[in-house]
């Protein structure tokens, strides 16, 4: 084939897609960001401390809760979970929590949409965009 792009093995290679270049650029930017972060000791230390605190205050208690829920005497059991789910008060609080989570997510999505819609349609300045971004 005349004019075909050939790979290192001399065989025709598939044409490159513009999206491939974008993905490569994004990966390179992410790698550069990580290198930059670890070159700055204060930033790297801050990130490591934040990840450590997240592990200590979020992941460890969650893992401990799951471990205590599904084990009794060192053996796997669903007995603890069944006991909790048989209590009507626990079931009601579970459904209330799901309802609250769904309403908060829906309300946040609707408000975010209206803020974004207003910012775009009104052609607000960058200062107004910052104000809207800071709104609760």
The answer for residues whose C-beta is within 8 angstroms of residue 71's C-beta and 6 or more apart is 77
Cα angle 74, 77, 83; round to 5: 125
Q: What is the pTM of this model?
A: 0.51
Q: How far apart are CA 127 and CA 134, in angstroms?
A: 11
Which tens digits make up the pLDDT trace of 89-103? 999 999 999 999 999
Residues 41, 43, 47, 53: is their CA dihedral positive or negative?
Answer: positive
Least confident segment among 13-22, 47-56, 70-79: 13-22
pLDDT confidence bin for 13, thresholds 50/70/90: low
Least confident segment among 34-38, 59-63, 75-79: 34-38
End-to-end, the C-alpha distance of the chain in Å comes to 61
Which tens digits make up the pLDDT trace of 26-36? 777 777 777 77
Q: Among candidates 62, 82, 57, 81, which has minimal Cα distance to 70?
A: 81
């Amino acid at each position: 084939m005349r004019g075909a792009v050939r790979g290192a093995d001399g065989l025709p290679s598939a044409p490159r897609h513009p999206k491939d270049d974008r993905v490569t650029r994004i990966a390179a930017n992410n790698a550069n960001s990580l290198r930059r972060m670890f070159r700055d000791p204060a930033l790297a230390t801050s990130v490591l401390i934040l990840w450590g605190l997240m592990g200590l205050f979020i992941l460890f208690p969650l893992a401990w809760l799951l471990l205590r829920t599904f084990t009794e005497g060192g053996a796997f059991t669903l007995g603890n979970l069944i006991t909790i789910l048989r209590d009507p008060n626990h079931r009601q609080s579970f459904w209330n929590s799901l309802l609250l989570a769904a309403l908060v997510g829906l309300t946040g999505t609707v408000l975010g949409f209206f803020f974004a819609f207003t910012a775009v349609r009104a052609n607000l300045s960058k200062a107004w965009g910052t104000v809207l971004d800071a709104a609760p």
